[in-house]
Amino acid sequence: MCGILAFFSSRGEAGAQRDAVAGALECLHHRGPDETGVEVVDADAVFAHKRLSIIDVESSHEPLSYADGRYLLTFNGEIYNYLELREELARDFGAKFATQGDAELVVAGFHHWGELMLPRLRGMFAFVIWDRQERRAFGARDYFGIKPMYYLETGDGVFLASEKKALLPFLAQEVVDPASLSHYLTLQYVPEPRTLHEGIKRVGSGELFRWTPEAGIDVVRWYRPVFRPSPTDDPQKLYDRIRETLRDSVRMHMRADVPVGAFLSSGIDSTAIVALAREFNPNILTFTVGFDVDGYSEIEVAQDSARHLDVTTIPTVIGPQDMMEALPRIVWHLDDPVADPSLVPLYFVAKKAAEQVTVVLSGEGSDEFFGGYTIYREPLSLHAVQSLPDPMQRGLRAVSKVIPQGVKGKSFLERGTTRIEDRYYGNARMFAEAEKRDLMRRNDGSVRYTDVTAPIYAECADLDDVTKMQYVDLHTWLRGDILVKADRISMAHSLEVRVPFLDREVFDVASILPVELKLPPRSTATKYALRRALEGVVPPAIVNRRKLGFPTPTRVWLRGEMYEWARDILATSGAGDLLDLSYAQRLLDEHKRGTADHSRKVWTVLVFCVWHAIFVERSLDPGIQRNPSALLTKPVVGSMVR
C-alpha cells in the first residue's frame, strides 16, 4: 500500500517541478512511511512514491523501472494473483523479473498484454506507468474503486496523486465547487468524479487514463459490473459456490510478507471473513470497537463470536471526547468531507490494529453484492401499489398530497406512486431539495441528485427494482462513502485494509442471484443466499442477526456532551458565505430539545465546517505530524533517489 504522485509535462520541462513534487509528496507520508522515491524521467515526467512495504519487503522499490528502463511505474494496491500471472508471463513471453513482488507484475503485464492486462488482475489497485519509448502515460483504478486516484490538468501538464491534498499546491485558484457541495449535502459525500475543489477530479472506479503531451488526458471506463439475475432450480449449489468462492478470496487476500489481522464487529460480514481467515491462520488477531453508551456497542457480541471461533479480539472503547478531538484529523485525511459518523470508530479501531499488524481484512462490499440493506426490501413492500394501473396511481398520488405531514400512510403512498429512478438515490439521504434552499446561500435548484443517478439508472434499465438499487449503490454509496473511509482512515495509520468481498470472482457469483434468494418475499431477511452459504462457517447466533450498520451515538451526544462543541463550530465557522449556519443552529437546538432527530443533518454541516476551516480558511490545524523524510533533507544526487 502506497502513496503516489506523478507529473507529466506537456512542455518538456518536468525537471522544473521536481522539488515541488517532492515537497507535496510529504503530505502522503502516512500512506507509505517505509520508503520514499522521487525520479525525474528525461524532461517528460516526475514520479514520486511513498511505500508501505507489504510484499517483497526488501525489494520492489518504487518508482520501479522495467524493460531496460523503457517503463517507470508507481503503484498503489495489491495484486493477489500476482504469482500465477508472473508464471504465465514467464511461460508465454519469457518475461524476466528483478523482484519478487506484485508491482513488477503490473508493468510487465502492460508491456506484454497492453491494456488487456487489466481484467487479468485480481486485486485492488491504482497505478501510473510512463512509457519512455512512446512518450505516453497509462494508468487505471481497480474494478470497484478500492484504491483512489485524483488528477489536475494545468497549462504545464497533468498531475496525478493518491490523495487530493497532494495536488492542492499546484492548483492555481482554490474554489469550492457549488454543485459538489450541493451533492454532498444530499448524499453525505461528494460523488465521483467530482471533488469540492474546482479543477481537481478523480479517475473513476473501473476507469483508465491515457496521456500524451499532444492530446492531454483521456479517461475512459474499462470495467462495468453487470448484474444478471438468473432463476435456479438448485439454490444449494449456489450457496456452495458462494461459500467456496469467498473462501478462495480470503485465502488470496491473506498473501503478505507482514502480519495480517482482521476487523470484527457483531455482523455476519466481518465474522465470516474472520472465520474463513482462521482456516489459513488460526492465530489471526482481530480488532473491534464500541462506545460507552448503552445500545451502541458491538464489543460484547464480537467477543462472543471470537470465543466461538477461538480467536483473540482486541477491543477499543471510545467516548464523546475522543470523537470531538479526532474529527479534525479525520477530515484532513478524507480530503473531501464524508459525513458518515462511523468514520470515528473506524479511525480508532484502525489505530489500535496498526499497533499489532500491517494488514487487516474487512467486510465491505457484502451488502451491495448480496442485497444486505433493509431499504432493498422497499420495492417488495410497494409492489401492491406500483402494480396498479397508471390512472389509479395518479389518484393515490393526489390523495397523498392532501394527507398532513407525519400522518401514517402518506409516505407509503408517495413512495408507492413514485418511480424507483425518482425515489432512490442511495443509502444516505441528508437534506431534501427544499431544505437545501434554506441552507445553501447559492442554490438555484439546478443541481439535483438525479444528475448523479440518471446515467446510472440508464445503464441498468432492464433490471428489477431491487437490483437497480444495488447497482446504484455500487456506483455511488460504495465508491463515495464506504471505500473512501476504508482507504483514508486505514492509511491514516499506515494500515492496509483488504476487502475479500470486493473480489471479481465473488461478484461473478453474487451477480447471478435472483431477487428471491437475496430478499425472500415472505421474510424480513436480507442477503439470504449469503446467510445460507455461511451456515456452519459463522456462529449460529450471527447467521440471522440483523444488520446494525456500525451505529454511533451522535444522536445522544449532540443532545449532551457534544452540544456546546457543535454550537461553537457553527458560531465560529467561516463557511457562512456558503451555508446559512443560523439554519443549522436551529436544527441543533431542535435536536437538543428532543422535538426532532436532526443528528445526521447537523453532523453533515459540522463535518463541512471543519473541512472548510482546514482547507479553505486555514484557521484550524488538524494536528497532523508531518516529519519530513530523510530523502528531502539530503542533497539530491542524480535523477533517482530512494
Q: What is the pLDDT of residue 266?
A: 86
Q: Are residues 486 and 605 in the same domain?
A: no
Is residue 401 classed exposed, middle or buried when 0-12, 13-18 and 19+ CB atoms within 10 A define those classes? exposed
Q: Give CA–CA dist 572/560, Å, rounded.
A: 20
Tell me, yes or no, whether 118 lies in a domain. Answer: yes
Q: Are residues 168 and 266 in the same domain?
A: no
Residue 362 labeled ligand binder:
yes
Residue 102 labeled ligand binder:
yes
Q: 548 pLDDT exceeds 90?
A: no
Order of strands across the sheet that contains 64-66: 64-66, 71-79, 123-131, 136-141, 207-212, 216-221
Find the domain containing 386 and state its range.
Answer: 374-428+443-464
Beta bridge partners of 591: none
Q: Give CA–CA dist 189/194, Å, rounded.
A: 10
Number of domains in the chain: 4
Q: Are residues 110 and 244 in the same domain?
A: no
Of 488, 520, 543, which closes a domain?
543
Q: Are residues 289 and 360 in the same domain?
A: yes
Q: Are residues 252 and 320 in the same domain?
A: yes
Mean pLDDT check: name the lowest of 131-135, 575-579, 630-634, 635-639. 635-639
Q: Are residues 256 and 185 in the same domain?
A: no
Chain CA centroid to CA 382, Å: 31
For 366, the 3-state DSSP assignment is helix
Q: Give CA–CA dist 504/466, Å, rounded.
A: 21
CATH number of the domain at 490, please.
3.40.50.620
Instruction: Supply φ then ψ for residue 583, to 5 degrees.
Output: -65, -45
Of 483, 516, 543, which closes a domain?
543
Tell me, yes or no, whether 642 lies in a domain. Answer: no
pLDDT tens per residue across span 389-412: 888 888 888 888 889 877 888 888
Please say whether the beta carbons of 140 and 123 come within 8 A.
no
Count of residues for the chain?
642
Tell me, yes or no, whether 320 lies in a domain. Answer: yes
- The crossing angle, in degrees rounded to 10, of helices 343-354 and 483-491 is 40
Residues with catalytic annotation?
2
Please say whether the beta carbons of 498 and 363 come within 8 A.
no
The better pLDDT of the pair 636, 428 is held by: 428
Tell me, yes or no, whether 47 lies in a domain. Answer: yes
pLDDT, the chain, mean: 93
Tell me, yes or no, whether 435 lies in a domain. Answer: no
Tell me, yes or no, whether 497 lies in a domain. Answer: yes
Calculate ∠ Cα 325-328-331, nearest 5°.
Answer: 135
pLDDT tens per residue across span 69-107: 999 999 999 999 999 999 999 999 999 999 999 999 999
Tell me, yes or no, whether 64 lies in a domain. Answer: yes
Q: Give CA–CA dist 365/486, Å, rounded.
A: 11
Q: Are residues 478 and 460 in the same domain?
A: no
Q: Are residues 368 and 398 in the same domain?
A: no
Encode 449-467: b = buried (16+ Cβ within 10 Å), e = exposed. beebbeebbeebeebebbb
Please say whether the beta carbons of 227 and 26 come within 8 A.
no
pLDDT tens per residue across span 197-226: 999 999 999 999 999 999 999 999 999 999
Contact partners, residue 411, CB within 8 Å, separation at least 6: none
Beta bridge partners of 48: 5, 38
Please say whether the beta carbons of 425 and 419 come within 8 A.
no
Q: Are residues 397 and 411 in the same domain?
A: yes
pLDDT tens per residue across span 223-257: 999 999 999 999 999 999 999 999 999 999 999 99
Q: Give CA–CA dist 309/69, Å, rounded.
A: 49
The better pLDDT of the pair 504, 1 is held by: 504
DSSP symbol at 590: H
Average pLDDT over residues 360-387: 92
Q: What is the pLDDT of residue 549?
A: 59
Residue 289 labeled ligand binder:
yes
How far apart, in Å, are the Cα atoms of 69 and each of 35, 61, 116, 380, 573?
21, 14, 22, 58, 51
User: At 632, is the pLDDT very low, low, confident or very high (cuts 50, 70, 90)?
Assistant: very low
Q: Are residues 307 and 290 in the same domain?
A: yes
Prediction pTM value: 0.94
Tell me, yes or no, whether 640 lies in a domain. Answer: no
Q: Are residues 161 and 13 in the same domain?
A: yes
Q: Are residues 525 and 592 in the same domain?
A: no
Of 508, 543, 578, which closes a domain?
543
How far apart, in Å, are the Cα atoms of 340 and each of 277, 485, 549?
28, 9, 11
Q: Give CA–CA dist 172/104, Å, rounded.
A: 35
Q: What is the pLDDT of residue 630?
A: 52
